[in-house]
Amino acid sequence: MKLFLTGGTGFIGSHFINQAHAAGHEIIALRRSVDSKSRIPLNAEPTWIDLPMQEVTAEQMIGCKVVVHLAAHSANVPYDTLENCILHNVVHPISLMRSAVEAGIRRFIVAGSCFEYGRAGERYDFIPTDAPLEPTTSYPASKAAASVAFHALACEENLEFLFLRIFQVYGEGEAEGRFWPSLRKAALLGQDLPMSEGLQIRDFINVTDVAAAFVRAISRTDLTAGSPKIENLGTGSPQTLANFAKKEWERLGATGTLLTGALPMRKNEVMRYVPQQ
């Protein structure tokens, strides 16, 4: 099947390209510029389009059957302003989706975030997809706004639409400043790792499993036009950040020490994000 992909050079997008190609799909992928590099080596290059998202035309999407939207602006802290997050995560993607509809595309698979649930996450042992969206910072707020806006677009245009809210994804190709790459680097160098108390409860899911779920979604038969579907994407196995760190520290054969409690919690930290599967 021929796909149109956003976020193809990103963390999840790079893994998606490799898995989608292995499954026999043809990919047209959007990137910001020819200088953009994939987070991991690609087994085969897609057909790249080097344009801002809002400048993609229907003609460039002709023949594609599915849009897989993985691009995200300012997904890592420190987040951009709320205004810029809304512009890049809501307004520009809607422009691209309008072009896709004009090109005849009826199926959209979109990446969401568990952080859309915000404070509501602390009121549930396992968060249902109809939980209130109470984000506490700019990027999660823009993703929550996007899910509402895309839902309306799917109903308005009678589209097949699946929104997968990803929980705590980690793995190869992740941005260096995030927790797991920092842990792995310290472990491999024999260094100590300062971290918070690690009492946050998360559902950690490897990026390869996330990419596989998006590849499967391309051909799912349970999506209905005009009835958007939202699902949580996790493992169903919650654990504290401290326990996750300890397991990875041991798996990597680290000789340093996890300095638990050496760093403060982030401002507005939500302590529990665990999905109802």
Residue of higher predicted confidence among 32 and 92: 92
Closest CA to 9 of 20, 215, 25, 33: 33
Segment 128-167, tens digit of pLDDT: 999 999 999 999 999 999 999 999 999 999 999 999 999 9
Q: What is the dihedral of CA 250, 253, 255, 259, to 10 degrees?
A: -30
- To the nearest 10 degrees (0 to 180), the angle between helices 11-22 and 207-218 is 50
CATH of 2-170+205-233, one of 3.40.640.10, 3.40.50.970, 3.40.50.720, 3.10.20.30: 3.40.50.720
Confidence of residue 268 (pLDDT cuts 50, 70, 90): confident
**Percentage of residues in the chain with pLDDT exceeding 70?**
100
Residue of higher predicted confidence among 100 and 269: 100
Confidence of residue 113 (pLDDT cuts 50, 70, 90): very high
Cis peptide before 275 (omega within 30 of 0): no
Beta bridge partners of 224: 227
- For residue 216, the model assigns a pLDDT of 98
pLDDT at 273 over 90: yes
- Distance (Å, rounded) from C-alpha 61 to C-alpha 24? 19
Segment 36-72, tens digit of pLDDT: 899 999 999 999 999 999 999 999 999 999 999 999 9
Consecutive H or E run containing 258: strand 258-260
DSSP secondary structure, 111-151, as one string:
EEEGGGSBGGGGG-SSB-TTS--B--SHHHHHHHHHHHHHH
- For residue 96, the model assigns a pLDDT of 98
Q: Estimate to the nearest angstrom the gap between the alpha carbon of 132 and the chain centroid.
A: 20
- For residue 33, the model assigns a pLDDT of 82
Confidence of residue 92 (pLDDT cuts 50, 70, 90): very high
Confidence of residue 27 (pLDDT cuts 50, 70, 90): very high
Q: Are 189 and 180 in contact (CB under 8 A)?
A: no
Consecutive H or E run containing 66: strand 66-69
The residues spanned by each domain of the chain are 2-170+205-233, 179-201+237-273
- For residue 266, the model assigns a pLDDT of 87
